[in-house]
């Protein structure tokens, strides 16, 4: 009897971590629930990756892929398949989408024809990582006299230019940016929010703290195809719930290494 009880305890313990990872507040999918086709851009490996076979994406994984699955379940359906959409501009201009939802690094400021846009699910703010030994900046004023650096062309350079007294150093790659901060050539690295976790991963000993984020852009949003059976308002409602119950934060920590929305905003 005691062996049976012990076995039950072990089984329960084994089941707990899995339950912790699952979207446990989501109701089970009802038979006959709508099947969704989800468009993916496959532009950013942390947000979405997979194997492209024709137009179909198999073995899909990433922050947005998980979010799509959870969102579909919260909307009472499931993801039937993922398809590749090559460019957000074309995707949004298309009046005849063969998907219901699309995640393709779509900025909240996009103009659309064939789709409605949700509220943001991921910030496009710029995260500030300082070098070791630098006094922790409390606000943007403290950063003005610092040497700010960013990777050329990744969007953070605009924020660097806005907040630096002298022209920011623009570097060709994240590796160079890392070297510049660890060697003190830069006081602070400005990194796009979705890349900040990967930037600091494994390098915490040679970098200073992640001190906060600078407001930038309007975030990434979901495109909801018009006439696809889903309403953007319903998607917004579910995204708000996912934000409120911590699911979005958990997904960000899992796939991006940190939850940028949890960082303080530097003003």
- Any idea which residue has 């038979």 for tokens? 31
Interface residues for other proteins in 194-253 (CB under 8 A)?
Answer: 205-206
Residue 44 binds other proteins, judged by CB under 8 A? yes
Q: Which stretch binds other proteins (CB under 8 A): 3-11, 28-36, 46-54, 155-163?
A: 46-54
Q: Which stretch binds other proteins (CB under 8 A): 100-108, 127-135, 215-223, 259-267?
A: 127-135
| Angle CA 94–105–23, to nearest 5 | 110
Give the phi and the psi of residue 239 in degrees, each rounded to 5.
-65, -40
Number of residues that bind other proteins (CB under 8 A): 26
Contact with other proteins (CB under 8 A) among 29, 33, 49, 174: 49
119 or 179, CB closer to other proteins? Answer: 179
Interface residues for other proteins in 132-151 (CB under 8 A)?
Answer: 132-133
- CB burial of 185-218 (b: ≥16 within 10 Å; e: otherwise) equals ebbbbbbbbbbbbbbbeeeeeebbebbbbbebbe
- Residues, the chain, total? 267
x/- mask, other proteins, residues 160-179, rule CB under 8 A, reads -------------------x
**Residue 28 contacts by C-beta under 8 Å, 6 or more apart in sequence?**
none
Structure tokens at 188: 């602070």
Q: Which stretch binds other proteins (CB under 8 A): 52-60, 99-107, 118-126, 166-174?
A: 52-60
Contact with other proteins (CB under 8 A) among 10, 16, 21, 59: 59
Residue 53 binds other proteins, judged by CB under 8 A? yes
198 or 215, CB closer to other proteins? Answer: 198
Would you give the DSSP letter of residue 170?
E
Please state, in angstroms and rounded to a whole number, the distance separating the CA atoms of residues 51 and 189: 33
Residue 185 binds other proteins, judged by CB under 8 A? yes
SS3 at position 102: strand
33 or 185, CB closer to other proteins? Answer: 185
Residue 214 to residues 199, 233, 263, Cα–Cα distance (Å): 17, 28, 10
Residue 184 binds other proteins, judged by CB under 8 A? yes
Please state, in angstroms and rounded to a whole number, the distance separating the CA atoms of residues 55 and 73: 23
Residues binding other proteins (CB under 8 A):
42, 44-45, 48-54, 56, 58-59, 61-62, 131-133, 179-180, 182-185, 205-206
């Amino acid at each position: 009897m005691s062996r049976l009880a012990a076995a039950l305890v072990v089984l329960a313990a084994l089941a707990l971590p899995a339950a912790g990872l699952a979207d446990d507040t989501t109701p089970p999918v009802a038979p006959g629930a709508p099947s969704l086709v989800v468009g993916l851009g496959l532009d950013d490996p942390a947000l979405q990756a997979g194997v492209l076979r024709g137009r179909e994406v198999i073995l899909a994984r990433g922050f947005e892929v998980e979010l799509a699955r959870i969102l579909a379940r919260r909307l009472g359906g499931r993801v039937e398949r993922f398809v590749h959409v090559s460019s957000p501009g074309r995707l949004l201009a298309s009046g005849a989408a063969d998907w219901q939802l699309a995640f393709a690094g779509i900025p909240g400021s996009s103009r659309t024809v064939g789709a409605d846009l949700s509220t943001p699910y991921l910030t496009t703010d710029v995260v500030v990582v300082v070098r070791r030994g630098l006094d922790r900046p409390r606000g943007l004023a403290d950063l003005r006299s610092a040497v700010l650096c960013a990777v050329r062309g990744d969007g953070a350079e605009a924020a660097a230019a806005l907040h630096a007294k002298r022209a920011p150093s623009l570097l060709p790659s994240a590796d160079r940016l890392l070297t510049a901060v660890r060697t003190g050539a830069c006081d602070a690295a400005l990194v796009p929010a979705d890349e900040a976790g990967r930037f600091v991963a494994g390098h915490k000993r040679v970098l200073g703290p992640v001190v906060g984020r600078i407001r930038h852009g309007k975030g990434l949003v979901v495109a909801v195809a018009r006439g696809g059976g889903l309403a953007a308002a319903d998607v917004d409602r579910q995204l708000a719930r996912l934000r409120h119950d911590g699911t979005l934060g958990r997904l960000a920590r899992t796939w991006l290494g940190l939850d940028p929305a949890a960082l303080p905003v530097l003003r």
